[in-house]
Structure formats: structure tokens, C-alpha cells
Structure 1
């Protein structure tokens, strides 16, 4: 483990008291969790916009043309309802919002763009959802929402905030689809196959998600029932390449070590890893190397899966969606399936979850995320 073993994260324990999800499988945690536990992918030909001439035509997108600001306000409201927050309590909550930016920005005149930045969009969503209006926008690609959670947890742990709403949103749209398709990053066979021989890349997916992060003491005072405990978190950079991950996984390993240290846990205490597992050849191999750095030979037996194989890559919203699925899986006592598997890859020697009946009694799990630029995060969750 790293030299941070025994580090204090703050005087307050941190819990999640509310969570809500919109995904390709519908509203609520239940539908996406059920698909993940069954290994049932949600990929289908895109109908939301034209894909003629694209190398790939598949994504995990719900029907219709949902509006991101509308869905964020609705999902935040439902998460706050589950947490049992009154209107007054919501009014005191800041918002940490992970988004690519204001969806309206590309279509406004140049002289109006200053009023359509990510921070302005986040503030508008916060006010519309009945929150305090104090908002931070996180736009750091795939680690945006996990970074937002880590920041919220650190503020709550140190007593600088009683509770914070963390939300994130990405809805599959033509511009990002075209960028990923042109770059050859999308799987041409319409399936995401993390850590598998023959894997061909990622596929995009819808996700609008929100959680209420608060101190355990505040939750007890409200007699709220926690969904999970945020036991630890860690972040580290690769400083290797603008796009390619560091092959030895050292940055992601440091993030895991720091999350374990903050939770005062050992690698053998972890019973499941919800991997980033995008399905890219280089990314999956580097993540496997990181897991071997932290868990040693035990990585070959440790239950690991990537739920991107079911719900797709939701970019800025992906880490929060995966955290919620990870938390729900621990409560259910079942493990998400690493779907799309074709066979072993010698660079990915992991204890992949391939059995739909896989069960767990573990109290702790890690949810991992990496991003372009070499950013890495690890969130460690436990049963409440």
C-alpha cells in the first residue's frame, strides 16, 4: 500500500442517503441494476439522430429526445425525495454537477456564449431543482462525476458541509458520437467486451444520475436510512500521454491505494471491483496491470466486472452511474456480469464475473474510473 496508510479523512463518516438514475433501461436504479446482474446489454441502433455513413450505429439510448436540463432537475428531485429531504433542507444543499457543458452552447450566437458556460448551466440546474444555487461544474471527461463525489465526500468528512447533492448527465448526441466514431473508438460489432479477447472498443450510453452525500451524523438526526457508506476515495495522474493510458497502471494503482488508506482497509477486504473496463485493448490491459499492482496474484480470483458492457460509456456521467450500480449490487448481494465475454486475454488475468448467479457477502467494493489525459479515480463503498 502507499505511504498514505492511516491518513485521516476528517472527523465525519460519509454516507449516501438518496440515489436516482435515468438510463437506457428506464427510470430508477432497479432496471439498470437488473440488466447488469443479468448481463443483458441495452445496445441498439441509434434512432435519436442520423448515423448513415458511420462505422458504428449502436448505443444504449432510451427512446425519444430527452432534454438534459429537464432530466437533471427531475432526477435530482427524486434522489432528494428518497433521501427524505424537506424543501428547506434542499434549499441549503450545494450541487456538484458533472456535465460536458451547456448543451445549448454550440447553437447560441458568439456574443451570447459567455452566458452559457458549464458553471452557469450548473447554477441554473441547482436553482431549478430547489437547491441552494451554489454549484460547481465538473467537466473532466470520464472522471468528472467521480471527482465530484470525492470532493463532496471530502467536504462532508471535514465538516465543511452537512450534505451535498452530486449529479451528472450525458445523453447520447450526434457530435460526441461522430467524434468517437471518427476516432475508431466505437465497437463495430455493437457489443462492449471488457477484458475479453477480441474486444473492439466502447459504445456510448445515456445516463442522468444523482446522489445525496451527507454526514452519517446528519442522516441519523433525520432518521434517514443510508444506502451505502463512502469509506474512501483516491485520485492520481499518469503524466504519460494525452490519450493512451500508462501501460503499467501505476496511476490507477495509486488511486486505489489512497482509497484503501482513507478507509483504513487492506486489499483483501475488498470483495468486488466495478472496473472502468471500456473495452479498449490498451485501456483494459493497463487497468488489469493496476489491479495486479494492488492485489497481486489475488487479482486473478478477485471478482471484477465492467457494467459498461451493459449500459455503455456515459462519459461525464458514467462514474456516478457505475457507483450507484455498485452500491445497489452490494445491497442485493449479487454481482454484475462482465457481459460480451468471448475468451481470455493473457493481458487481462482477472477474476471476471461471468456467472449470472454470482453472489457476494462482501461489505466493501471499489469503483474505478480513468479518463483521457491520464486521470484516475477510485471510490470505495461499503454497506451501511
Structure 2
């Protein structure tokens, strides 16, 4: 098995393009939420999101930015590398299609609408990115909602670990859009407040956020051979399904615990060696207690002492991109020796007995961290990430 290292990353969030903007926003505990200005939210219960407010955005636009930053950081061009992306497609094209469909009067408009649908297909995004940057194959889209980017990273790490690839480009993208916003709002998953409050008493739901991240994964041998300095290690990965409910997590967090245990087995480390957890932490009434119980299964009596923060409290929930952005945040925490805070915290909830690093970042030398994500349909995923290695 080949050791998998991260040699580059690029990121885009509501804080702006680039890792520096992400570090300033997340580690200062500054939430990026404001009233939605990308579409009219007056018809909905919720009115807030973490949007990047400068110019028009598409998943392709933000991914281009992230790929360029990641390749520059890595010191290579990525030519021939597989590209694996978490995405559900460009929902802006979906909306444009239905508007054109409703307004069309002739075949010409119908043809135009059909072209818009093609641009919404998830599989088109890795293909376009692959062609533009001369990446190789496979070029895959992972569409399983909030674990999509985590799955892309896990699959990329697996390809490298078994010798099927020396380098992989992986990540995900999501841009706040009315289509998805309306669905979450109708399901009452969104809070009506301008803040998310993960693990806090009185939490009312999540908020969406713009996000994209690209990670360059390599075998350690390949990285050292070309003189690259790794930024961290992907030590383990695990996937699990609890099949409990279409949209609710298993109340005991069984699937999330199973994914974490699988990731620890692949990593060859014990739960006692984990010093930080970047939680899924959606701030919803059902997710946070279930995740707290999952942490109890993973860490036993240490569960209340291991630092656990939800960085969605600053970035918002970035859906298909969230696992990639949170992997970058976790790698920054390991490299900097600084744990990101959980913003919006008001009061401890006895149903969520975790050390959630409330409100302020915390200095802490940590060498191994766990990043957790869960999704509709009972999908769960976990990454074990390690601090930058010494040669």
C-alpha cells in the first residue's frame, strides 16, 4: 500500500477565493451569512446564506479558480491525473431550462432550453475541467449529496494506495441556488436566523454556503521524487450506510460511527490517537445529537474531551463540496496547530455533550484528525488526516 499525501489545495468560499481568505474567516470564527441576494427569498421561510457577493458564479467558474490554486501550490500541472469531483450539476441551468420551457414559442427556444439541460448534468463538470487542464481518466462525478466530495477524496486516495495512480485531482463544488434552497426550505431544514448554532441549545437548522475545493493527492514516493513538500497525509477513509431514513440520520449515529471506525482501520491508528474532529455539525435538531452519540461510540469515555468543531457555522453547508472544503480546513488546523471554532454557540445542550471549541479558535498541537460527513439516504463518510510528514 502506498502512503497518500496532499501536495496542493485550492479553495473558494463565501469568504472569497483562496486559502488565505478561508483561514482568516474560519479561524477567526466569523460567520459569512447575510441576506440572500442571488435570488428573491421573500417567498421562503429562510432568507440567509453564505454567498460570495462579487460577480456571477457557477460551479465551473469556482472550480477553475480552485484547480489553478491547487496546481500552483503543488508545483505540478496534473497532466494525465484522474479527476474526481463531488457535484450535483449546475442548478442554474435547471432553472434557466424551466423558465425557457415556460416561455418558449417556437422550436428554436426549445433547442436552446435543451442545451441548458446538458450543462446541468453532473458528469459534464469533471469532463470540462479534465479537458481544460489536460487531466486524465477516469473523470467521475460523485453525486451522493453531502458526502460527495469526501467520497471523491476517498476514491482518489484508494487509487493511489493500490498503485492505480500516482496523482489524483479531487474535490467538489456547490453554489447557493434557488432550486436547492427551495427544497431545503420546504423541508424546514433551514434556520430562519442569520446564524447556525451547531451543538448549541436552541439550534434551529442549517444555512447554505458557496464552496469549492480541489486537493492534489499523490503517492508519497512520487511527491518526494519530484521534490514536493506534502501539506498533510490522507491516512484513512471509510464509507458506511445506515439505511435508516430518506433524510434523517440514524438517531444513534450508527452509520457515522461505522464510517469512522472503517477509516481508522485503514489508517492503522486507534481512536485514542485522534486529537481533533471536524464534525458534520449541521446545527439541526436531529443531526447533532446523533453525531454526539456516534462520537461516543468512536471515542468511548474520551468523547467529551476530544475537541470537536463544526466549521459549517462559519462557511455554511456547502453540500457536495463540504467534505473537500472541510478537509482543507482540517489540514490547516493540523499544520498551524490551531483548532477552528464553532461559531454561533449560545448554551450547552445536554443531548450534545461534546467539547465544540465554542466561539474562539484554540491553539493545540494535533497530529491526527478525523473529518466526518453525512448525507441524505443514510450515507456516511470519514477521513483520517495527518499532519505534514517529515522526510
Query: Please, what TM-score do these two structures have when normalized by structure 1?
Result: 0.93
- Is the aligned partner of 1:53 residue 2:57? no
Structure 1 residues 314 and 68: CA distance shift in structure 2, 3 A: same
Query: Match of 1:28?
Result: 18
Q: Distance in 2 between matches of 1:229 and 1:133?
A: 23
Query: Match of 1:120?
Result: 124
How far residue 246 of structure 1 moved from its aligned partner, in angstroms, is 0.5
- Is the aligned partner of 1:239 residue 2:243? yes
Query: Match of 2:80?
Result: 92
8 Å contact from structure 1 (residues 288, 349) kept in 2: yes
How far residue 207 of structure 1 moved from its aligned partner, in angstroms, is 0.5
Number of residues of Structure 1 aligned to a counterpart in Structure 2: 371
Question: Which residues in structure 2 correspond to 1:304-323 (within 5 Å)?
Answer: 304-323=308-327
How far residue 332 of structure 1 moved from its aligned partner, in angstroms, is 0.9
* Corresponding residue to 2:187 among 169, 172, 183: 183
Query: Match of 1:78?
Result: 69
8 Å contact from structure 2 (residues 17, 65) kept in 1: no
Q: Distance in 1 between matches of 2:60 and 2:119?
A: 15
Question: Which residues in structure 2 correspond to 1:1-384 (within 5 Å)?
Answer: 11-63=1-53, 64-86=55-77, 90-103=78-91, 104-105=93-94, 107-108=96-97, 109=110, 113=117, 117-132=121-136, 134-354=138-358, 356-384=360-388
8 Å contact from structure 1 (residues 56, 186) kept in 2: yes
Name the SS of the counterpart of 2:88 in structure 1.
coil
Q: Distance in 2 between matches of 1:173 and 1:163?
A: 32
Query: Match of 2:104?
Result: none
Name the SS of the counterpart of 2:360 in structure 1.
coil
How far residue 115 of structure 1 moved from its aligned partner, in angstroms, is 7.4
Q: Distance in 2 between matches of 1:21 and 1:83?
A: 13
Per-residue CA deviations over 1:287-324 (Å, capped at 9, x if unaligned) read 00000011112111110000000000001001110110
Structure 1 residues 204 and 73: CA distance shift in structure 2, 3 A: same
How far residue 15 of structure 1 moved from its aligned partner, in angstroms, is 0.5
Q: Distance in 1 between matches of 2:203 and 2:292?
A: 14
Q: Distance in 1 between matches of 2:143 and 2:82?
A: 17
How far residue 102 of structure 1 moved from its aligned partner, in angstroms, is 3.9
Name the SS of the counterpart of 1:210 in structure 2.
strand
Mean CA deviation greater in 311-320 or 70-79: 70-79
Q: Structure 2 regions of 5+ residues with no counterpart?
A: 98-109
Q: Structure 1 regions of 5+ residues with no counterpart?
A: 1-10
Q: Distance in 2 between matches of 1:358 and 1:307?
A: 13
Name the SS of the counterpart of 2:233 in structure 1.
strand
Query: Match of 2:107?
Result: none
Q: Distance in 2 between matches of 1:326 and 1:35?
A: 14
Mean CA deviation greater in 128-137 or 234-243: 128-137
Mean CA deviation greater in 292-301 or 46-55: 46-55
Per-residue CA deviations over 1:102-122 (Å, capped at 9, x if unaligned) read 443554557655675322332
RMSD: 1.5
8 Å contact from structure 1 (residues 124, 133) kept in 2: no
Query: Please, what TM-score do these two structures have when normalized by structure 2?
Result: 0.92
